[in-house]
Amino acid sequence: MLTAQATSTAVSATDIAISLGLLVAVYAVLGLLWLFLVVREISHGPAPAPAGVVEEETLPLPSAGPLLRPAGGPMAGSGR
């Protein structure tokens, strides 16, 4: 069955145009509002961390661990 054969004969081209225009308009407005909210969120930046929470960058590096072995060590060339 071709697309042309499968269209509904009870729905007019005008109805299709109206509904398509309606959905395009709604999603265009929603897209712009979403953009506004994203830009606003970025311009505000992240909220400050609550008191008592230590940020990740300030944590000391682990003194030794399997992920900190020098290149060429046992972890290198593991096939991943």
Question: H/E/C letters for each residue in the chain?
Answer: CCHHHHCCCCCCHHHHHHHHHHHHHHHHHHHHHHHHHHHHHHHHCCCCCCCCCCCHHHCCCCCCCHHHCCCCCCCCCCCC
Instruction: Supply the minimum distance, in Å, between the C-beta of residue 27 and another protein.
Output: 9
Nearer to another protein, 10 or 47 (CB): 10
Comparing CB distances to another protein, the nearer of 12 and 69 is: 12
Binding footprint of another protein on the chain (CB under 8 A): 8-12, 15, 18-19, 22-23, 26, 30, 33, 37, 40
- Nearest to another protein of 22, 75 (CB atom): 22
